[in-house]
Amino acid sequence: MTHEEAPEAAGDDAGPGRTRRWRGGRGLWARERNDVLARVYRVAVVARSLLGAHAILVNFWLVWPRAEHPWLVALANAVIVGWTVAVSSWLAGPSRRSLYIHVADAAVTVGLVLLTLVALPHGGAPLSLAGYWISGAPMYAAIFQSTRAGVLSAVAVGIALFMVPSQASMERAGMTFVVILVAWCSGLLIEQFRATITEQEQERIRVAALAERERLSRIVHDGALQVLALVEREGPLLGPVGVRLAALARESESQLRVHLQDRDIHEPRPDAAVDLAAALDKYSSARVTVSTMAGEVLASRYVVEEIESTVQEILKNVDRHAGPDARCWLLLDQEVDDEAIVFIRDNGVGMDAAQARRAAEQGRFGIRDSIIGRIAAIGGSAILKSAPGAGTEWELRIPLDAE
């Protein structure tokens, strides 16, 4: 091991300011690399510990002298200390933050509240032996499970406070309200925290992807595109084979340039808005001319993917049946704001209606299923116009607000 490698090998446990770990990283302050709630966890542990300390001091100084069974007060204090350490240690591991531990946490808290009825006479402890510590279980459930779990835990504790009608008081009513409010606010804050982290991570991934694409674009531009341009320029000098190579090089160069100009990083969600014009631009090649709107034509990602699949099927049919010299034109238009129209026309050999029907009868369902059926599934329509020797034209009308 070299001198320069030593700090890296030491990892997170080395150096001042690093996270302190107890044996094997199993202590209260253990922090896992992928635990986004690690810092929130530490704050929650400190808050619950201070609430427990407050309850213990109040029990010793104010509640103990008036208790009918002082040993129950001591038992309550021991439970507060032991359970705070136990549940906090258990929740230190993200994989162990299950609903069951929060149910048990709420049950222990409710048990301490009910123990007050046995240990003290009426009015001996206005808020119960657990004091303000009762807000710890709902707070943990809201932070590590969900807002709903936190509120349900708070409601269970509140019901325990009013289990005996004679014990009802304004102090307990106010405490119940505060506990529910703390659980609800804690859950909402954590939800916002998670959403912010997710958005920042998605933005970081998008920026990194764009940077990598730009780096690859420079490599391709300086290498592959220069070679393709040379083949396209010098190929015809080699005869018929060279002409074919030049045509292939021209088509590959066109496709590469389209991909290099594409700077759109799509969202993974299927309902995310995607620019249909940008999606169709990449089908431009030496044989396909694409004309799209100057502005954006936004539709859901799912709809755009279905349109792209349809366009790919049509272009495959042009390659297979239109003839070796056929060219294709793709036009994106809009007559109204909530509908897009895609025209795809070629100057190939064309076909008549009888040929289309025979193709379907022979089990070739590309037109019926892959084109017409796919567009119909998203609420649109597909019209085929063709005649022998006059090429083929597709008119696809797609609602942009399709579900």
Q: What ranges do the domains of the chain cover? A: 15-200, 269-403
Long-range contacts of 39-47 (CB under 8 A, 24+ apart): 40/143, 40/190, 40/193, 41/91, 41/92, 41/143, 41/144, 44/139, 44/140, 44/143, 45/88, 47/136, 47/139
Q: Pinpoint the alpha helices (H) of 223-300.
A: 224-234, 240-261, 276-281
Look at residue 134 and tell me whether its pLDDT is greater than 80.
Answer: yes
d(CA 272, CA 372): 24
The rounded distance, in Å, linking the Cα atoms of 401 and 378 is 10
Ranked by mean pLDDT, the top range of 118-132, 146-160, 259-273, 348-362 is 146-160
**Alpha-carbon torsion, ordered 63, 68, 70, 73, to 10 deg:** -60
Cβ density class 34-72: b for 16+ within 10 Å, e for less:
ebebbebbbebbebbbebbeebbebbeeebeeebeeeeb
**Other beta carbons less than 10 A from residue 331's beta carbon:** 16
Lowest-confidence segment of 78-82, 197-201, 238-242, 256-260 by average pLDDT:
256-260
Residue 336 identity: V
Contact 89, 26 (CB under 8 A): yes
Mean of the pLDDT values across residues 259-283?
Answer: 70
- One-letter amino acid for residue 163 of the chain: M
Whole-number mean pLDDT of the chain? 79
How would residue 40 be classed by pLDDT, with cut points 50, 70 and 90?
confident
Cβ neighbors of 284 (< 8 A, separation 6 or more) are: 254, 255, 258, 290
Both tokens of 376, joined, read 């119909």
Q: Residue 90 is inside which H or E element, if any?
A: helix 70-90
Residue 100 pLDDT exceeds 60:
yes
Q: Using alpha carbons only, how large is the chain's radius of gyration in Å?
A: 35
Report how far Cα 44 is from the mean position of its chain's Cα atoms.
Answer: 26
- Sequence-ordered alpha helix ranges (H) in 322-386: 353-361, 374-377
The residues, ordered by sequence, that sit 6+ positions from 43 with a Cβ below 8 Å of its Cβ are none
CB 280 within 8 A of CB 311: yes
What letter represents residue 102's amino acid? Answer: H
Asked if residue 76 has pLDDT above 60, the reply is: yes
Q: Residue 272 carries which side chain, given as an amino acid letter? A: A
**Mean pLDDT value of segment 303-320:** 88
pLDDT band at 81 (very low <50, low <70, confident <90, very high): very high
Over 50: is that where the pLDDT of 206 sits? yes
pLDDT value at residue 285:
81
Greater confidence (303 vs 234) lies with: 303
| Beta-strand relationship, 392-399 and 381-386 | antiparallel
pLDDT (0 to 100) of residue 25: 39
What SS3 class is residue 77?
Answer: helix
CATH H-level, domain 269-403: superfamily: Histidine kinase-like ATPase, C-terminal domain (3.30.565.10)
Residue-level pLDDT at 127: 76
